Chains A and B, each alone.
Chain A
Amino acid sequence: ADPHAVLAAFSQGLEGLKGQFVQRVFDGTGRLTEDSHGTLALAVPRQFRWEYEAPFPQLIVADGSKVWIFDPDLEQVQVRPQGVEEQQSPLMVLVDPAELDRQFAVADGGQADGLAWVELTPRGDDPPFSKARLGFADGALARMDMTDSLGQRTRIAFSGWQRNPAFDVGTFRFVPPPGVDVIGEVDEAAQAFPLGD
């Protein structure tokens, strides 16, 4: 199947997405080293919210200009300007299709596990992963697999997608709670491409 058509079918008319995910990481020998799950929200063009529920709560919010990483049990918030790393994420191209061909070489990944696969190879130098594969079942993204520089395979399974949902007001905002350490570039100059709120 034409990979661009498979991707376009999913991102057509997409303003936002919300769903559940299960994330598993396997080391080079195939041993499961991480098994976590939670909810994911994405909004055009570059806002996202990964809310891990287990085994440890963790919240990652990209509000369009900053990325916040909050580890409640470790009482630490990291914040940095949103930038290249987010653009290189395979998920973001689903809500920002214009970035697709700029960020990745797109190839047909064939059929496997009952899914139609699209293979994305990052164009940037020193990408965090060597290849990403997106698996689609009747037009909906069901799986994302990535292999990183250590040979670890991250496999994320998605379910319960809601297309263009009404997001709660604070979905893509984050305010550090009192009593936690906030580290990283907290109050740097305004972003080059701030999103109007």
Chain B
Amino acid sequence: CAGAPRRPALPADDLLLAQAAREAQLARHADWRLSGRIAVSDGRDGGSGQITWIQRGERYEITLNAPVSRRSWRLVGEPGHARLEGLDGGPFSSDSAEALLQEHLDWTVPLSDLAAWVRGIRAPGSASIRFADSGLPERMEQGGWSIDYRSFDQALDPPMPSRVFATRGERRVRLQVGDWSLAPGSP
């Protein structure tokens, strides 16, 4: 159910085929790593900082360094178990990483879906995509979020998003990725 492509050269189903091929290629890179900046807000409050996200299959390690205060925290876990370290009174554990971010930082971040969106691919479940002239996703709608792909690093194979703006009502999660590492089994 792709959004009606407005100008891309390829007909709709070829675009979806290209996207599916991209998703299959990325699925083969079970280990990946990004570093860049993240900004989260609910329209009133929020935060930002330098982010390093290391994914090894189902396991993730996300480190965030806030500017000025150098206040930093790290979220480590896998589906069903998450741990948030570095905050006063921590470490905190829960079966949900999203719950930890919500409770201790008041951040609403759909983490497991974001792991797909930040790579320019759909998370499991239904999603609609509008493609840019390049044939790469321009906007995706999924789980109540709309994800705008402001730019891709086309020098990478496959091209990877470099600026991703996800919005759901007042909630915003914005990522700028300066460094992607997709090597299989990358550290």
A interface residues, Cβ below 8 angstroms from B: 25, 27, 33-34, 50, 55-56, 58, 60, 67, 69, 71, 73-76, 78, 85-86, 89, 126, 128-129, 146, 148-150, 152, 154, 181, 183-184
Contacts and interface: CB of A to CB of B under 8 A. Distances in A.
Contacts of A128: 69-72
Contacts of B63: 27, 33, 150, 152
B158 interface: no
Nearest to B179: A55
B35 A181 contact: no
Given A27-B63, A33-B52, A85 B68 contact: yes
A50 B48 CA distance: 15
A76 B86 contact: no
A182 to B, nearest CB: 9
A167 to B, nearest CB: 19
A69 to B, nearest CB: 6
A74 B37 contact: yes
Interface in B38-62: 38-39, 41, 43-48, 50, 52
Contact of B46 (A27, A58, A148, A183): A183
A71 B39 contact: yes
B65 A183 contact: no
Nearest to A146: B70
Nearest to A132: B70
Contacts of A75: 165, 174
A154 B70 contact: yes
A181 B165 CA distance: 12
Interface centre among A71, A181, A183 (most CB of B within 10 A): A183
B98 interface: no
A150 B35 contact: no
A194 B88 CA distance: 29
A73 B178 CA distance: 12
Main secondary structure of the interface of B (DSSP, over half): strand
Contacts of A126: 88
Contact of A56 (B41, B46, B176): B176
Nearest to B44: A183
Interface string B149-187: 000000000000001010000001010101000000000
11 contacts: A50-B67, A71-B39, A73-B37, A78-B46, A128-B70, A149-B86, A150-B63, A150-B72, A150-B73, A183-B41, A183-B45
Interface in B2-32: none
Contacts of B174: 74-76
A124 to B, nearest CB: 11
A76 B85 contact: no
B176 A74 contact: yes
B35 A33 contact: yes
A150 B74 contact: yes
A57 B30 CA distance: 31
Nearest to A56: B37
A86 B68 contact: yes
A185 to B, nearest CB: 8
Residue among B36, B38, B72, B165 having the largest count of chain A Cβ atoms under 10 Å: B72
